[in-house]
Homo-oligomer: A and B are copies of this chain.
Amino acid sequence: MYGMIVQMLAAPGKREELVAILTESTGAMPGCLSYVVALDAANPDAVWVSEAWDSKGSHAASLELPEVKAAIARGRPLIGGMGTFVETQPVGGHGLVAG
């Protein structure tokens, strides 16, 4: 498995709009096992995305999906900066499900 844990920093006042874009297009990405979008409880601009994929290739392929490309184009102006970025190797747990 391949994964990442990413903290995005929304432009001021834009977190809700960014979260809406992040959550709307995650239903049908081939090879995506988990894609959880969460608000940072302490930082009103921060959003965390925790992702698990069956392979690094599936993640890379997702970035070429038309709906993902469109979401990135709409989301980019709402992002004020990037915070933590961690690449991971998910190994198990609960909630890893084929899309």
Contacts and interface: CB of A to CB of B under 8 A. Distances in A.
Interface string A17-54: 00100110011010011111111111000001110100
A60 interface: no
- What does DSSP make chain A's interface, helix, strand, loop or mixed? strand
Interface in A50-65: 50, 52
Interface residues of A, number: 39
Contact of A36 (B29, B39, B95): B95
Contact of A87 (B27, B42, B97): B42
Interface of A: 1, 3, 5, 7, 19, 22-23, 26-27, 29, 32-42, 48-50, 52, 84, 86-97, 99
